[in-house]
Chain A
Amino acid sequence: MSQLFLALTIGSLFSLGTFLLLRRDLLKSILGVIIFGQAANVYLITMGGFSGTVPVLYGGENLVSTTDPLVQALVLTAIVISLGTTSFILVLLLRVYDEHGTLDIDRLWGQS
Chain B
Amino acid sequence: MGAIMIEYSHLVAHSPMLPILISLLSACIILLSRRSLKLTIIFSSFGMILYSVSILFLLLLVQDFPISYQFSAWPAPYGISFVADPFSLLLLSITAIISIAVLFYSILTIDAQKQKFSYHAFLHFLLFGVTGALLTGDLFNLFVWFEVTLLTSYVLVTFDSNSQQTRAGMTYVILNLIGGAFMLIAIGGIYATTGTLNLADLSHRLSQPDVYGISIPSVMVFFMILFVVFALKSGLVPLHFWVPLVYQAAPSPISALLSGVVKKVGLYAMIRIFFTVIPPTSISIGEISILTIFGFSLLILSFSSIVIGGISALGQNNMDGLLAYSSISQMGFIMLPLSIAALFPAVKGMALIAAIVLSLNHSLAKASLFLVSGHIKNSVGSVTLSDLGGMSTHSPILSISVFISLFSIVGVPPIFGFLGKVYLLILSSNTQSILPNFSILFISVILVGSLLSLLYAIRLWNTCFWGEVSSKVSTSSPIYLTQYSFIALSLLLVLITLGFEFISPLIEAASISAVDSSGYIDAVLYHK
* Contact A88 B184, beta carbon cutoff 8 Å: no
Are A89 and B174 in contact (CB-based, < 8 A)?
A: yes
Chain B residues with Cβ below 8 Å from A49 are: 192
A99 to B191, CA, bound (A): 43
Q: Quick check: is B381 within 8 A (CB to CB) of the other chain?
A: no
Cβ of A108 under 8 Å from chain B: yes
Stretch from B165-173, B303-311, B465-473 forming part of the interface with A: B165-173
A1 at the interface (CB under 8 A from B): no
The answer to whether B192 touches A47, judged by C-beta atoms less than 8 angstroms apart, is yes
Q: Among B144, B161, B181, B191, which residue has its beta carbon within 8 angstroms of that of A95?
A: B161
Which of chain A's residues has its CB closest to B183's CB?
Answer: A40
Chain B contacts with A in 156-208, Cβ cutoff 8 A: 158, 161-163, 166-167, 169-170, 173-174, 177-178, 180-182, 184-185, 187-189, 191-192, 197
Of all chain B residues, the one with the shortest Cβ separation from A45 is: B188
Residue pair B163, A37 in contact (C-beta under 8 Å) = no
Looking at chain A, what size class is its interface with the partner chain? Answer: 20 to 34
Interface string of A69-106 (1 = CB under 8 A from B): 01100100110010011001100110110011000000
Q: Within the assembled complex, what's the spacing in Å between the Cα atoms of A109 and B162?
A: 15
The distance from the CB of A33 to the nearest CB of chain B, in whole angstroms, is 5
Whether, in the assembled complex, B516 has its beta carbon less than 8 Å from a beta carbon of chain A, the answer is: no
Asked if A99 contacts B166 (CB within 8 A), the reply is yes
What's the least CB distance linking A36 to chain B, in Å?
5
- Determine if B188 and A37 form an interchain contact, defined as CB atoms under 8 angstroms apart: no
Nearest A residue to B169 via CB reads A92
Write the nearest CB–CB distance from B467 to chain A, whole angstroms.
28
**Cα distance A78–B161 in the bound complex, in angstroms:** 27
* C-alpha gap A84/B140 in the complex (Å): 18
Task: Let me know if B151 and A40 touch, CB within 8 A.
Answer: no
Alpha-carbon separation in the docked complex, A39 to B161 (Å): 30
Q: Which of A30, A33, A92, A108 contacts B158 (CB 8 A)?
A: A92
A29 at the interface (CB under 8 A from B): yes
CB neighbours (8 Å) of B187 from chain A are 44, 74
Which residues of B are found within 8 Å of A44, using beta-carbon distances?
184-185, 187-188
User: Contacts A92-B166, A96-B166, A96-B167 hold; do A77 and B173 have CB atoms under 8 A apart?
Assistant: no
- Give the docked Cα–Cα distance between A44 and B162 (Å): 37
Q: Who on chain B is nearest to A103 by CB?
A: B170
Q: Does B147 contact A (CB under 8 A)?
A: yes
Chain B nearest CB from A94 CB (Å) reads: 10
B residues near A78, Cβ cutoff 8 Å: 143, 184
CB distance from B146 to the nearest CB of A (A): 10
Assembly CA distance A39 to B177 (angstroms): 12
Number of A-B contacts (CB under 8 A): 90
Q: Main SS of the interface on chain A?
A: helix
Q: Chain B residues with Cβ under 8 A from A100's Cβ? A: 163, 166-167
CB distance from B153 to the nearest CB of A (A): 11
User: Contacts A96-B166, A100-B167; is A81 near B173 (CB within 8 Å)?
Assistant: no
User: At the interface, yes or no: B154 with Cβ under 8 Å from chain A?
Assistant: yes
> Which of B151, B173, B188 is A47 in contact with, Cβ under 8 Å?
B188
B interface majority secondary structure: helix
Also in contact, A39 and B181, with CB within 8 A (given A81-B144, A100-B167): yes
Given that A43-B188, A47-B192, A78-B184 are contacting pairs, would A84 and B174 also be in contact in the complex, using a CB cutoff of 8 Å?
no
Give the interface centre of B161, B174, B181 by most chain A CB atoms within 10 Å: B181
* A70 smallest CB distance to B (angstroms): 7
Instruction: Tell me the residues in window 38-54 of chain A with beta carbons closer than 8 Å to chain B beta carbons.
Output: 39-41, 43-44, 47-49
Q: Are B151 and A85 in contact (CB under 8 A)?
A: yes
Structural contact, B170 and A93, CB atoms closer than 8 A: yes
Closest beta carbon of chain B to A103's beta carbon, Å: 10
Q: Pick the contact of A92 from B162, B173, B180 — CB < 8 Å?
A: B173
Most buried by B among A26, A41, A77, A96: A96
Shortest CB distance A28–B (Å): 12
When the two chains form their complex, are residues B162 and A99 in contact, meaning their CB atoms are under 8 A apart?
yes
How far is B184's CA from A81's CA once the two chains are assembled, in angstroms? 12
B144 cross-chain contacts in A, Cβ below 8 A: 77, 81
B193 to chain A, nearest CB (A): 9
Given contacts A85-B147, A88-B154, contact A30 B181 (CB under 8 A): no
Q: Which residues of B contact A109 (CB under 8 A)?
A: 167
Q: Chain A: which residue is nearest B177 at the CB level?
A: A33
Complex Cα distance A73/B197, Å?
13
* Residue of A29, A41, A81, A88 with highest tally of chain B CB at under 10 A: A81
A47 & B191 in contact (Cβ 8 Å cutoff):
yes
Do A108 and B184 contact each other (CB < 8 Å), given the known contacts A81-B147, A95-B158, A99-B161? no
A90 to chain B, nearest CB (A): 11
Instruction: Give Cα distance in the complex from A84 to B129, angstroms.
Output: 15
Least CB distance, A108 to chain B, in whole angstroms: 6
Contacts of B182 in A (CB 8 A): 40
Select which of B174, B188, B197 is within 8 A of A30 by beta carbon.
Answer: B174
Is there an interface contact between B191 and A71, defined as CB atoms closer than 8 Å? yes
| Contacting pair A33 B170 (CB below 8 A) | no
Jot down 20 A-B pairs with beta carbons below 8 A, ordered by A: A21-B174, A37-B180, A40-B185, A43-B184, A44-B185, A44-B187, A47-B188, A70-B197, A78-B184, A81-B144, A81-B180, A84-B151, A85-B151, A89-B170, A92-B154, A95-B158, A96-B166, A96-B167, A99-B162, A99-B163
What are the 9 A-B residue pairs with the smallest beta carbon separation, nearest first?
Answer: A40-B181, A47-B192, A47-B188, A44-B188, A99-B163, A40-B184, A96-B166, A81-B147, A37-B181
